[in-house]
Chain A
Amino acid sequence: MDIIKRKKELVKEFSPMLEKTSLISKLWIVVLIAIISVGIYAFYLQFINGHKITGMRDNVVWGIYIINFIFFVGISYSGAFITGVLHFFKGSWKYSIARIIKIITVLSLIVGPIFILLCIGRLDRLHYLFIYPRIQSPITWDIIAIMTDLIGCFIYLYLTFIPDFAILRDTADLKVPRWQKNVYKVLAIGYQDTASQRERLHKITEIMSVMIIAMAIVAYTVLAWIFSLTLQPGWNSTIFAPYFIIAGLYSGVGVIIISMYLIRKIYKLEKYIRKIHFIGAGIVLLIISLLFGYFTFSEYFAKWFSHKTNDEELLNTLFSRYFWEFILANYIGVLVPIVILFFKKLRTIKSITFAAVIAVLGLWLNRYLIVIPTLETPYIPIQDTRPEFIFYTATWIEYALSFAGIAAFILMFKLIMKFVPIIPMSGIIDQERCEENKTNNTTNQVQ
Chain B
Amino acid sequence: MKNNKIEKSGTNRRNFLRLGFISTITVATGASLFSNLIIEEEPDSSGEKMRLLTPEGKIVEVDATYINKYPEAHITPAESRKGIPDRKFVMVIDLAKCKNARNCVETCQKEHQLDYNEEFLKIQLMQDNKEADPYWFPKPCYHCDSPPCVTVCPTGATFKREDNIVLVDAERCIGCKFCVTSCPYSARIFNWGHKEKFDNKDIPYSPETGIPATEGTIMKCDFCPDMLRQGKLPHCAQSCPMGVIYFGDKNEDIVTNGEETVRFSKLIKERSGYRHLEHLGTKPNVYYLPAVNRQFPLERGFNVDEDIIERYKNVEYVKDLKKQGKI
Contacts and interface: CB of A to CB of B under 8 A. Distances in A.
A369 to B, nearest CB: 16
A242 interface: no
A375 B310 CA distance: 21
A300 B315 CA distance: 25
Contacts of A129: 154-155, 174
A427 interface: no
A390 B277 CA distance: 22
Interface stretch (A73-81, A82-90, A377-385): A377-385
Contacts of A52: 192-193
A1 B148 CA distance: 66
A26 interface: no
A270 to B, nearest CB: 45
A132 B176 CA distance: 14
B154 A378 contact: no
Contacts of B176: 119-121, 139
A334 to B, nearest CB: 27
Nearest to A139: B154
Contacts of A381: 124, 314-315
Given A50-B216, A132-B172, A379-B185, 10 more contacts: A58-B186, A120-B176, A122-B174, A128-B172, A135-B34, A148-B26, A231-B184, A375-B181, A380-B124, A380-B277
Nearest to A128: B155
Contacts of A384: 119, 122-124, 308, 311-312
Contacts of A134: 33, 37, 153-156
B119, B122, B125, B186: most-surrounded residue (chain A CB, <10 A): B186
B186 A132 contact: no
Contacts of A120: 174-176
Contacts of A57: 192
Contacts of A226: 178
A335 B25 CA distance: 39
Contact size class for B?
35 or more
Contacts, number: 174
21 contacts: A51-B193, A52-B193, A56-B192, A58-B186, A59-B186, A125-B173, A128-B155, A132-B172, A134-B155, A135-B21, A135-B37, A137-B154, A138-B178, A139-B154, A144-B29, A218-B24, A232-B182, A383-B311, A383-B314, A389-B117, A390-B314
Given A119-B176, A119-B177, A381-B124, A50 B24 contact: no
A385 B315 CA distance: 12
A320 interface: no
B194 interface: yes
Interface of B: 16, 21-22, 24-26, 29-30, 33-34, 36-37, 40, 117, 119, 122-125, 139, 148, 151-157, 172-178, 180-182, 184-186, 188-194, 214-217, 276-277, 280, 282, 308, 310-315
A133 B34 CA distance: 9
Interface of A: 49-53, 56-59, 61-62, 119-122, 125-126, 128-129, 131-141, 143-145, 148, 218, 226, 229-232, 375, 378-387, 389-390
A120, A129, A380, A387: most-surrounded residue (chain B CB, <10 A): A380
B299 to A, nearest CB: 17
B122 to A, nearest CB: 4
A125 B303 CA distance: 45
Contacts of A56: 192
B291 to A, nearest CB: 16
A172 B186 CA distance: 66
Contacts of B217: 121-122
A383 B122 contact: yes
Contacts of A49: 193-194
A120 B179 CA distance: 12
B175 to A, nearest CB: 2
Nearest to A61: B177
Contacts of A143: 154
A354 B5 CA distance: 62
A140 B148 contact: no
Contacts of B148: 230-231
B135 to A, nearest CB: 13
Nearest to A371: B181
A230 B181 contact: yes
B311 A387 contact: yes
Rank and list the top 6 A-B pairs by shortest CB-CB distance, nearest first. Answer: A121-B175, A121-B216, A52-B193, A50-B193, A52-B192, A139-B154
Contact of A232 (B24, B123, B184): B184
Contacts of A59: 186
Contacts of A379: 184-186, 277, 280
A132 B156 contact: yes
Given A121-B217, A383-B125, A384-B312, A232 B155 contact: no
A121 B180 contact: no
Contacts of B192: 50-52, 56-57
Contacts of A53: 193
B123, B124, B155, B276: most-surrounded residue (chain A CB, <10 A): B155
A137 B24 CA distance: 14
A126 B174 CA distance: 7
A137 B147 CA distance: 12
Contacts of B185: 379-380
Nearest to A117: B176
Nearest to B176: A120
Contacts of B174: 120-122, 125-126, 128-129
A230 B190 contact: no
A131 B191 CA distance: 23
Contacts of B156: 132, 134
Contacts of A62: 177, 181
B186 to A, nearest CB: 5
A121 to B, nearest CB: 2
Contacts of B152: 136-139, 229-230
Contacts of B26: 144, 148
A141 B216 contact: no
Given A49-B194, A122-B216, A384-B119, A133 B184 contact: no
Nearest to A221: B24
Contact of B33 (A58, A140, A231): A140
Contact of A139 (B173, B178, B184, B315): B178
A313 B312 CA distance: 17
Contacts of A61: 177, 180-181, 190
Contacts of A387: 310-311, 313
A134 B21 CA distance: 12
A229 B179 CA distance: 12
